[in-house]
Chains A and B, each alone.
Chain A
Amino acid sequence: MTTKNKITTLLLSTSLSLASCAIAAEELTVWAWDPNFNVAAMNEAASRYQQTHADFSLTVMDSGKEDIEQKLHTMLASGITNSLPDIVLIEDYNAQKFLQAYPGSFAPMQDTVDYSQFAPYKVGVMSINKNVYGIPFDSGVAGLFYRSDYLSQAGYSEQDMQNLDWDQFIEIGKQVKQKTGVNMLTYDINDVVLPHIMMQSGGEWFFKEDGSLNIADNQALKETLLTIKKINDAKIVRPTSGWSSFVGAFNAGQVATVTSGVWIIGSIKSVEEQAGKWRVAPIPRLKLEGAKQASNQGGSSWYVLNASANKQAAIEFLNATFAHDTDMYQKLLLERGALATYLPASSGAAYAEEAPFFGGQKVFQDFAKWVGEIPQVQYGMFTQEVDNAIAAEIPALLKGEPVDDILKRVENNLKYQIM
């Protein structure tokens, strides 16, 4: 290669990299967790958007949920905005915390997005006063997943599982344990999935409408704790600790049921040999006036940061895909089990699909039906703190202390926690 040639290549490559810099200004960055679910959904949306917007590009940074929350906390608190992404995924329980603790950090989108097209419980989570932030994404609608093979060994049909309350659930659990030796469910003192599902099905949360604590007089919470005690007393639980041993327990066939948000499907389906053995039923009912057999656990939404240089581009992109593209939702549902909260998407063909893994049950049609029945609650800012305070009292509960005393103590303790 001659010197002249070298210079030409150098110049050429410099101009190329300059050109790519110019394009990079349009490039959006996204933070999300779960490569098989959220990240995949975002990439799918981006590739669809690129068909009409050739100059659009997007990179998803995939890291753990806790890591993302922690990074976001640190950066927003420090006020340094240049390494923040354009779009970030936030779990619904924490949405109010971020929106209220860092006012002005997220872009309100009610002028662009038609929120009446989304499930109302989901929009409520992301609103402050009249401003609505972000685009609702997946639903955490809960179901009672169960192993039909264990249940039929114990003498129960699919019909028997449809309309349960928790007492009947425990009775079935005792039979299952006796006849098959398998525990009915896993239990982890620190776990919040089951209590959250139970309480929300009773239509209450830790906070009232105005954000004040709702613990001592919270009937749904009281009934939830009583039920948890009954389940533990019945000795039908397998103790677990942390997420991996929870997933490990049902993947290894050590429990007969899992009550969780619909997103657990991904983990359940990861064991091929169990294909056809699982079914889904509505969750059991709390013994409470007005309690529903539908609830929510988890679910998250996309938020645009106000400091982003590409704010408008990010909002337009989200609006064109997650708030309009019903076709995309069909694909996400079939491939990833992502149940959308975008209502027009729930009438598509994919919902009528029979799931072979669940013995041909039309699971998504069932879930879509239950989404509409989920009681709407205010998650507030401090869910994590309350979870922690309640977890600390669970041993006392299991020992048999009266629930009323425990709840009063929790409420008192929290007064010093939440300031």
Chain B
Amino acid sequence: MRLFHDPMFKTALLNTLTFLVIQVPIMILLSLAISSCLNSPRLKYKQWFRLAIFLPCVTSLVAYSILFKSMFELDGVINSFLLFLHIIDEPIAWLADPFWAKVTIIIAITWRWTGYNMIFYLSAMQNIDKSVYEAARIDGVSPIKQFFFITVPLLKPVILFTSITSTIGTLQLFDEVMNITNGGPANSTLTLSLYIYNLSFSFVPNFGYAAAVSYVIVAFAAVLALLQFKVAKDR
């Protein structure tokens, strides 16, 4: 019962859901687009691009978080670059502003996980029979239409799989927020996992309550996975 009144829990839940709703679709679409580009037979140096985009996935979560933290400092690389291009007039307080901190976290996880999903799509695309595309080309279907009406429907099971794993991954989001913003500023990037950590190890220890919060994650993961199965079936 304490759970439903606890404002900090509500904040954590809301933040986690925000990350989920914004980040997962962006990442899925981005990795779909990238993988279909990489799948194009006309592309040169394919190996190199594939490696470059997949490489973030092998970096350690903590190491890249700390790197991102320094890049997004007030006088970090990102601000200097944007100032240099005259896109902004004064440095953005990426990590000190509640809104921009959320954006930073989303950029970070997107960078880290897009390549991972891309590999799934790529391997699935290579399994699609080339004759399907050939037939479409002869019928005069534009590449964009080919993508939406051939590639995407045929990839449906893989898209379902990646969106479920990404959903679960986002629900468990911890390393990035712990290291980049530590839940701040003003709890604007506090996630459920980080809240569980705080409850167990930095507040007066309350393992029972922390366990209760962790069950919420389990419940959410299950419900969201079911929902995605339903949506995918209806189509």
Which residues of A does B touch, CB under 8 Å?
A: 66, 69-70, 73-74, 77, 97, 101, 187-190, 238-242, 245, 248, 381-382, 384-385, 388-389, 391-395, 413, 416-419
Q: Which residues of A are found within 8 Å of B97, using beta-carbon distances?
A: 239
Question: Are B74 and A413 in contact, CB atoms less than 8 angstroms apart?
Answer: no
Beta-carbon contacts under 8 Å, B183-223 to A: 183-188, 198, 200-205, 207
Question: Are A190 and B186 in contact, CB atoms less than 8 angstroms apart?
Answer: yes
Partner of B8, one of A70, A97, A413: A413
Question: Are B204 and A391 in contact, CB atoms less than 8 angstroms apart?
Answer: no
Q: Which residues of B are found within 8 Å of A413, using beta-carbon distances?
A: 7-8
Instruction: Say how far A252's CB is from chain B's closest CB, in angstroms.
Output: 8
B181 adjacent to chain A (CB < 8 Å): yes
Q: Report Cα–Cα, A245/B181, bound state, in Å.
A: 12
Given contacts A394-B185, A416-B5, 15 further A-B contacts (CB under 8 A): A66-B202, A101-B205, A190-B184, A190-B185, A239-B96, A241-B181, A381-B204, A382-B204, A384-B202, A385-B203, A388-B198, A392-B11, A393-B186, A395-B98, A417-B7
Partner of B202, one of A69, A242, A245, A416: A69
Q: Which residues of A are found within 8 Å of B8, using beta-carbon distances?
A: 388-389, 392, 413, 417
Q: Which residues of A are found within 8 Å of B184, using beta-carbon distances?
A: 188-190, 241, 391
Number of inter-chain CB pairs below 8 Å:
91
Interface of B is mostly: loop
Question: Are A238 and B187 in contact, CB atoms less than 8 angstroms apart?
Answer: no
The bracket for how many chain B residues form the interface is 20 to 34
Instruction: Say how far A156's CB is from chain B's closest CB, in angstroms.
Output: 26
- Find the B residue at minimum CB distance from A237: B96
Q: Report Cα–Cα, A101/B205, bound state, in Å.
A: 8
Question: Are A245 and B6 in contact, CB atoms less than 8 angstroms apart?
Answer: no
B73 adjacent to chain A (CB < 8 Å): yes
B95 adjacent to chain A (CB < 8 Å): yes
Instruction: Say how far A33's CB is from chain B's closest CB, in angstroms.
Output: 15
Q: Which residues of A are found within 8 Å of B152, using beta-carbon distances?
A: none
Q: Convert B1-21 into 0s and 1s, putting 1 for each residue whose CB lies closer than 8 angstroms to a CB of A.
A: 010011110010000000000
Q: Which residues of A are found within 8 Å of B205, using beta-carbon distances?
A: 73, 77, 101
Q: Report Cα–Cα, A242/B188, bound state, in Å.
A: 15
Q: Which residues of B are found within 8 Å of A393, using beta-carbon distances?
A: 186
> A241-B181, A242-B95 given as contacts; is B207 within 8 A of A189 (CB)?
no
Q: Report Cα–Cα, A208/B101, bound state, in Å.
A: 35
B69 adjacent to chain A (CB < 8 Å): yes
B155 adjacent to chain A (CB < 8 Å): no
Question: Are A240 and B201 in contact, CB atoms less than 8 angstroms apart?
Answer: no
Question: Are A188 and B204 in contact, CB atoms less than 8 angstroms apart?
Answer: no
Q: Which residues of A are found within 8 Å of B202, using beta-carbon distances?
A: 66, 69-70, 384
Q: Report Cα–Cα, A242/B6, bound state, in Å.
A: 26
Beta-carbon contacts under 8 Å, B160-191 to A: 181-188
> A73-B200, A416-B6 given as contacts; is B187 within 8 A of A388 (CB)?
yes
Partner of B201, one of A69, A187, A417, A418: A69
Q: Which residues of B are found within 8 Å of A417, using beta-carbon distances?
A: 6-8
- With most chain B CB atoms within 10 A of its CB, the pick from A240, A382, A389, A416 is A416
